[in-house]
Structure formats: C-alpha cells, structure tokens
Amino acid sequence: MVKVAMVSDLHLDINKVNVDEVLAQESDWLAAHEISVYLIAGDLFNHFEKSLSFAEQLQKITPNTAIRFVAGNHDMVNDITYDELQEPISATYIHHGYYDVPGTDWRVIGNNGWYDYSFSAGLHRPDSDFWHWKKAYWIDGAIKQPMTDPERLTLELQQIEIQLKVAQAVHKQVLFMTHFVPRIEYVRVTHDNRFWNMANAMLGSVRTGELLSRYHVRRVLFGHMHIHPEPRQISSAIYYDQAVGYGTARRHEWLTDTFESEWLTRVRVINLSNSQHLNA
C-alpha cells in the first residue's frame, strides 16, 4: 500500500496565513503519516511564482514525499503566461505530465483543465454572453489567452486523451488530477436568471467527465468549488473535491477556526496498490 494525500484550494494569500508555518506543519504531517505522494489540485496563491515556490520548498523539506500540483484559475492570474503554463516548469508542476507511483501500477496524470460553458447550456445564451460576463465579473477575466474558452478546453481534452491512451497502453490505473470541475452533478442550477447560473459556466465542463468515463479512469481529484462533499462514485471513478476554501471575515467557508485545523479536516488520504482495490 502507498499512501497518497490530496487537497485543493489552499488560497494561502487570501487566507493570510504564515507560509513558513504552513510549510513546516504540512511537512511534519506528511512525514509523520508516511505519505508517499501529496497532490494539490490548484489555487495555492493568486501568483503562479508563489504557488510554484511553495511546492518546491515543500518538496525540498519533505524529500520522502513526491509533491505534485496543477494550477487553478487563481494561480494563473499573475506571473505566468498561457504559453508558459503549458511548459514542464518543474517536477512539482504536473500539468501535461504524469507521475508513476512507485511500487504500484498507478499513474497520476495532471491537467489544469478549463471550461466551455456547458454547465450553463440550459440558459441558451451565446458564448459571447458568457465571455463578456466573465470579463466584467469573474477573476478569470484577468487571465490572458490566445483563444476562446471552449477552444482552450478542447485543446486540453485532446492532451488528456493522449495521456489516457498512453496510460491504457502500458496498463496503468489512473488517478487524474485537475482543478476545474469535471462533472455537472456537482453544479447547482436554478431555474431563474441568478448570478450563480452564469458563474457555473466557468466551473468546468461536461466533456471532461465524459472523457474520463470513456477511458475508465479510477480516481479523480479536483477543486474550484469550495464545498465539502464526500467522495462520490460516478461511472467508473471515485471523485474527490478536497477544497480548503476561504476562511475570511467576508467569506468564511470553513467548518473550523484555523487554517491548520481546516486543512486537517480537508486533506484526504487514500491507499494505492496493485490489487485493483483502494481504501478511501
């Protein structure tokens, strides 16, 4: 058995935590619990350089744990271009990459993900409406990209499918990590014109979940939605949303009073082995 710890949406800057203290606390916990792989599904900071630095520092002080992360929309706002996001910047940054878990036949495949407005298809609005709404109201409006959102998602799905085909060819079980929501089952849709129904368009894509099901992916870690669902079996996979979320005075989403205690409630440990059986 190999222990894998999973979490997302730390928002270390928005939560105004002492980063050095968090690094020490997480490193100590990972070592004490003999965690072999620690996965962070995006939104560490509002600056990519800080997110990368956090992952690399944690890797340096926790040498017996493989630290891997993908970028969320918040990580993409500053210090990084679209083209740079596609590059293998660091071993800790696993977008378009993978990590074979030693001693098992499991492969962690990483992709930042994106969205195509399919979660809001019931609003029957043209794509241009969602684009302009995003530019006016959503943090992603500050993220520069050389194509539309549906085009960006299509490119990512093509890359994911290539990786899934390769994993299938070498007989790997797949744990897929992304930031954006891969299943519409997590989305709250109301039958009116509420703000949230437009925001749903920027949460993820129906097509992502369909692709993962088609290739019989076994485990999926994502974030983006700051909710507290239990692991959920959908089609072939168990889905995990392990977001820590915001603990601010304006938006207090935590169930506890401190970042450390909230992280401890949200981090999830699973055991991976060759046996086709996983204990969640």
3-state secondary structure of 239: strand
pLDDT at residue 245 tops 80:
yes
pLDDT in tens, 163-206: 999 999 999 999 999 999 999 999 987 776 677 789 999 999 99
Domain regions of the chain by residue span? 2-272
Q: What is the pTM assigned to this prediction?
A: 0.96
> What is residue 196's predicted lDDT score, i.e. its pLDDT?
77
Q: How far apart are the first and last CA of the chain?
A: 12
CATH of 2-272, one of 3.60.21.10, 1.10.10.60, 3.40.50.300, 2.60.40.10: 3.60.21.10
Average pLDDT over residues 99-119: 97
Confidence grade of residue 280 (pLDDT, cut at 50, 70, 90):
very low
Cα–Cα distance for residue pair 127/273, rounded to 1 Å: 44
Specify the pLDDT at position 195: 74
Burial 201-219 (b: 16+ CB within 10 A, else e): bbbbbbbbbebbbebebbb
Q: How confident is the model at residue 4 (pLDDT cuts 50, 70, 90)?
A: very high
Q: Of 130-139, 164-173, 188-197, 234-243, give the lowest mean pLDDT range.
A: 188-197
Query: What's phi and psi for 101, nearest 5 deg?
Result: -75, 120
Residue 18 is given by DSSP the state -
Residue with tokens 């050095």: 20
Nearest residue to 71 via CA among 112, 11, 115, 10: 112
User: 200: helix, coil or strand?
Assistant: helix
